[in-house]
Amino acid sequence: MITAIVLIDCATDSIPEVAETLAALPGVSEVYSTAGHVDLIAIVRVRQFEQIAEVIAGSISKVDGVLNTESHIAFRAYSQHDLEETFAIGLPDGD
């Protein structure tokens, strides 16, 4: 699975509508409304590298209200959830 993080600037008056449209696109797994220097962050997950261009340049960039995108390809994922599963040995939680 190939993951891309896409930072999106969009027209201020259409952020919720743009977010909903983006979330419905094939290849877009999540869209977050954010505070900071970008309006939205989309997580794109595809099986083949070539599909990234299709999703970002072919779909996301063409949504009405999207003004600019900046894409980052993820090399490896790290998360607490993954670490807990890796080191779990089947014992119940102590909470």
For the stretch 79-83, contacts whose Cβ atoms lie closer than 8 Å and that sit 24 or more positions apart, written own/partner, are: none
pLDDT for residue 78: 85
pLDDT tens digits for range 58-78: 999 999 999 999 999 999 888
Q: Are 40 and 19 in contact (CB under 8 A)?
A: yes
Q: pTM surpassing 0.85?
A: no
Structure tokens at 61: 């960039």
- For the residues 44-69, what does the mean pLDDT come to? 96
Closest by CA position to 6, among listed 48, 56, 78 = 56
Q: For the chain, how many residues are written?
A: 95
Mean pLDDT of 71-93: 73
